[in-house]
Chains A and B, each alone.
Chain A
């Protein structure tokens, strides 16, 4: 069984890189997009994406909330986590989870594991006699 694939959509280079790198360290397959337009382009290719983590405010024509709605129209069951410092956006949003910035990586990893599972748990266990 292959690792679950997460699409990370974040316009801040260092945040995107650190987040994607940390998720790869956990064993997930990660696709990176710098804005909602790129994220939606990836979704349109039909590549398997199990979960989306997206910032809300980004340059381009598609923000994180719009990307969430578009993802839900393509794949209603695919979980989306939106991350924003704007608490007002947390009250009404189309995503499965809302993470308030700043957040800890552990909090995000816990949410992801709850929504799509932990990649280490998909590896067959070897039991000693």
Chain B
């Protein structure tokens, strides 16, 4: 950038559950990242193939839907975008922990709050939605 400020590192948070995706993405934005939210592997492919978005890492849920399952997606990313780090998470706690580790390496080098708080927040949101749907 012209003023010498580095561009923020860019991440994709890919999760089929909007409540999990939103919370993880917001946490990582507080850590200084620019975050793209993707609901399916197809959206991840669109983001990576778009060309102008400089993606540094992908945090993906193990149950991600779409043209590729998450393991096929990992292979596709490694083949087509080898510079993109892929982090897989199997559940909310693992995803929050992975987000916390990304935060430790992130532009701000500081966590806004503990990953355990992110996981607890997501579980509260999920419980609230399930309670409303009953």
Contact = CB atoms under 8 A, between A and B. Distances in A.
Task: Tell whether A pairs with B.
Answer: yes
B18 A47 contact: no
Interface stretch (A36-44, A61-69, A88-96, A102-110): A36-44
Contact of B18 (A14, A24, A33): A33
Nearest to B43: A13
A47 B50 CA distance: 32
Given A13-B43, A13-B47, A14-B50, A38 B128 contact: no
A31 interface: yes
Q: Is the interface of A mostly helix, strand, loop or mixed?
A: helix
Interface residues of A, number: 18
A73 interface: no
Contacts of B47: 13, 17
Interface of A: 13-14, 16-17, 20-21, 24, 31-34, 38, 41-42, 44-47
30 contacts: A13-B43, A13-B47, A17-B36, A17-B37, A17-B47, A20-B37, A21-B34, A31-B22, A32-B18, A32-B21, A32-B37, A34-B18, A34-B39, A34-B43, A38-B18, A38-B39, A41-B19, A41-B129, A42-B19, A42-B22, A44-B128, A44-B132, A44-B133, A45-B19, A45-B125, A45-B128, A45-B129, A45-B132, A46-B128, A47-B125
